[in-house]
């Protein structure tokens, strides 16, 4: 599992940053990519990577500001011709997404041959997709806006083959049956399967925010607890807290102090304004390098299992 950043910029693109588009690479787990937000140029960015559009079967939109969705019609149209012809795609996002897409695709006479389903989500909704539980969390922005909590299912540990051999069970289809059951019978004795399994593979938790002011509610903070990685915006990096608040965005020092009480792994800062393109950014990165990672386009971050 890893994150791959296709766009790390805020509202306006710059020479080095496209606007927000984040890939959750699940190729090793389920041979798919999830995509969060669909910035203008996302399909061009993808051409510089190994990502196949047909392997994106679930796409999540945080909100309907243009910097997060203007790449969607182009991506959807091209996917048809990039191996995605019959491969279904689900898009999750706020109310209004379906109407916008219907009008855009119809007006531009875009023909999409694969099954396309648009699901409009609501705050606190939880649903399962593949091996993930996904929870929708409300952001504090000037338009309906969400974050998504992706929690991978915890899997049983590996079968301990040598232990099974010790009681006289040799490899074969029986191993699968044993792994799938809680107990098994052998030579007239009942065994507990857990005694023959290695440590559980604990599911990973990845949280990707949409645009937001810093959220201080305890309910929200509890949801973040235990995350392996949190992706949070910081349109403002250098002390302009009032301005960030005024424009419904976040400022870095405020994000960092808000997360101090939360127990989590790494923090990835993204949605970085195009004002920070100079040496200033290097200095800011240096100052905070022990506290967070700063996203850049094409950055990849591996998310290892805890066990």
At 199, which helix (H) or strand (E)? none
Residue 211 annotated as lining a ligand binding site = yes
Min dist. Cβ of residue 236 to Zn ion (A): 13
20 or 253: CB nearest Zn ion: 20
43 or 273: CB nearest Zn ion: 273
The CA-based angle 97-36-139, given to 5 degrees, is 70
Residue 192 annotated as lining a ligand binding site = no
138 or 151: CB nearest Zn ion: 138
From the list 67, 80, 228, 297, the catalytic residue is: 67
Residue pair 245/268 in contact by the 8 Å Cβ criterion? no
Residue 111 annotated as lining a ligand binding site = no
User: Is residue 195 among the annotated active site residues?
Assistant: no
Min dist. Cβ of residue 20 to Zn ion (A): 6
32 or 250: CB nearest Zn ion: 250
The CA-based angle 262-38-134, given to 5 degrees, is 45
Min dist. Cβ of residue 186 to Zn ion (A): 59
Residue 232 annotated as lining a ligand binding site = no
Residue pair 273/243 in contact by the 8 Å Cβ criterion? no
Cα–Cα distance for residue pair 135/126, rounded to 1 Å: 4
Residue 141 annotated as lining a ligand binding site = yes
Q: Which of 68, 12, 22 is nearest to 45 (CA)?
A: 22
25 or 67: CB nearest Zn ion: 67
SS3 state at 169: coil
> Where are the alpha helices (H) located in 80-150, listed in sequence order?
97-107
β pairing state of 266-270 and 89-93:
unpaired
Min dist. Cβ of residue 142 to Zn ion (A): 7
Q: Which chain residues interact with Zn ion by CB under 5 A?
A: 65, 67, 211
Q: Which of 141, 152, 179 is nearest to 163 (CA)?
A: 179
Residue pair 105/89 in contact by the 8 Å Cβ criterion? no
Provide the 8-state DSSP code for 83.
T
Min dist. Cβ of residue 144 to Zn ion (A): 10
The burial of 77, by beta-carbon neighbours within 10 Å (0-12 exposed, 13-18 middle, 19 or more buried), is given as: middle
Residue 186 annotated as lining a ligand binding site = no
Residue ranges for the known binding site for Zn(2+) are 63, 65, 67-68, 141, 211, 271
Report the binding-site residues: 63, 65, 67-68, 141, 211, 271
Catalogue the active-site residues: 67
């Amino acid at each position: 599992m890893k994150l791959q950043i296709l766009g790390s910029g805020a509202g306006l693109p710059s020479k080095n940053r496209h606007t927000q588009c984040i890939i959750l690479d699940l190729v090793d787990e389920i041979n798919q990519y999830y995509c969060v937000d669909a910035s203008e140029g996302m399909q061009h960015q993808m051409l510089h990577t190994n990502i196949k559009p047909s392997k994106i079967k679930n796409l999540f939109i945080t909100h309907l500001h243009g910097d997060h969705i203007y790449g969607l019609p182009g991506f959807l149209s091209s996917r048809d011709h990039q191996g995605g012809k019959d491969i279904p795609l689900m898009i999750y996002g706020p109310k209004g997404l379906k109407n916008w897409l219907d009008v855009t695709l119809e007006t531009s006479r875009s023909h999409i041959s694969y099954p396309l389903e648009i699901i409009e989500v609501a705050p606190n909704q939880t649903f399962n997709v593949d091996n993930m539980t996904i929870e929708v969390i409300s952001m504090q922005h000037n338009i309906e806006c969400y974050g998504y909590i992706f929690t991978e299912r915890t899997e049983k540990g590996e079968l301990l083959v040598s232990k099974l051999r010790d009681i006289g069970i040799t490899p074969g289809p029986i191993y699968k049956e044993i792994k799938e059951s809680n107990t098994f019978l052998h030579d007239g004795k009942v065994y507990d399967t857990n005694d023959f399994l290695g440590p559980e593979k604990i599911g990973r938790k990845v949280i990707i925010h949409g645009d937001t002011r810093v959220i201080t509610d305890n309910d929200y903070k509890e949801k973040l607890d235990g995350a392996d990685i949190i992706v949070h915006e910081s349109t403002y990096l250098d002390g302009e807290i009032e301005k960030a608040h005024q424009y419904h965005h976040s400022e870095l020092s405020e994000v960092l102090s808000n997360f101090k009480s939360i127990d989590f792994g790494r923090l990835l800062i993204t949605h970085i304004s195009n004002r920070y393109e100079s040496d200033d950014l290097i200095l800011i990165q240096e100052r905070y390098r022990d506290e967070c990672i700063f996203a850049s386009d094409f950055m990849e971050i591996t998310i290892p299992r805890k066990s």
